[in-house]
Amino acid sequence: MIAIVPTIRAPHFESVQHFVDNRDGWQLSLRQTWDPAALRRDTKPVLIVPGYGMNSFIFGYHPGGNSFEAALVRAGLEVWLVDLRAQGDSRSTGGGDDYGLEDLALTDLEAAVGAALERTKTASTKVSVIGASLGATIMFAHAALSPSPRVGNLVSIGGPVRWVKIHPLLKLAFASPTLVGLIRLKGTRKLAELTLPHVLRHTPWLLSIYINPEHVDVAHVKEIVKTVEDPNRSINRQIARWINDRDLVLRART
């Protein structure tokens, strides 16, 4: 089932929000945006997959210029921003928090790709996928493990595949798969809103593990943190094992 909600993006852009049943207890949110005057219908729709502990908001936001989404749309591409389960506007219809990277790659991303191709304004039968951080890992896992991936191009933005050089803070945080798998984290967005301005001003090096602090505008922190989501303890456990083992193994494949 796909529910459609018209939304407003930028002048001359058209945008529709879709809610897609992933058949695993979640309605996934996908936002389709295109410029009718500029759309190149011979291109593939572009599906953007956010990273861990975030949603797709940040790809459609810029404090003073074109967002990433807008830049692609202005270039004539149809862009789809997806929120996987427990991200952004996606909502549970009975699904819980016990899921892994396989579920995101083979259930959620499969549903998202199918919905995009069903609703695309282009003539393509495949999508181009841009994965950010862990979103790129999910993208690679989908391409490698899906029985029939409908993916034509893969673009990784800082996507981890094998852990070689591990940041000391990250290594410490994920030292024990058992421990991180027991901890439920709530209120991460509010915590980020309260602490991020102080960290940016006084100890920006703490953020180097994930973002470039020189590119974060303190004046717009309340907007920026809208992309923050609570981490999932099951995924945390899986990431800890992955870091310890160096290679990610899904369904007995590296």
Residue 204: how many other CB atoms lie within 10 Å: 14
Nearest to 227 by CA among 89, 65, 20: 89
Q: Is residue 191 situated within a structural domain? A: no
Q: Is residue 62 situated within a structural domain? A: yes
Q: In this predicted model, what pLDDT tens digit does every residue of 63-72 receive, in sequence order?
A: 888 899 999 9
Q: Is residue 223 situated within a structural domain? A: no
Q: What's the rounded Cα separation, in Å, for the pair 128 and 27?
A: 22
Q: Is residue 211 situated within a structural domain? A: no
Q: Is residue 5 situated within a structural domain? A: yes
Q: Is residue 245 situated within a structural domain? A: no
The range of the structural domain enclosing residue 29 comes to 1-161
Number of domains in the chain: 1
Q: Is residue 150 situated within a structural domain? A: yes
Q: What's the rounded Cα separation, in Å, for the pair 156 and 123?
A: 24
Nearest to 84 by CA among 25, 34, 125, 30: 30
Q: Does the pTM exceed 0.85? A: yes
Q: In this predicted model, what pLDDT tens digit does every residue of 155-196 receive, in sequence order?
A: 999 999 999 988 888 889 899 999 999 988 899 999 988 988
Backbone angles phi, psi at 52, to 5 degrees: -80, 140
Q: Are the beta carbons of 36 and 73 closer than 8 angstroms?
A: no
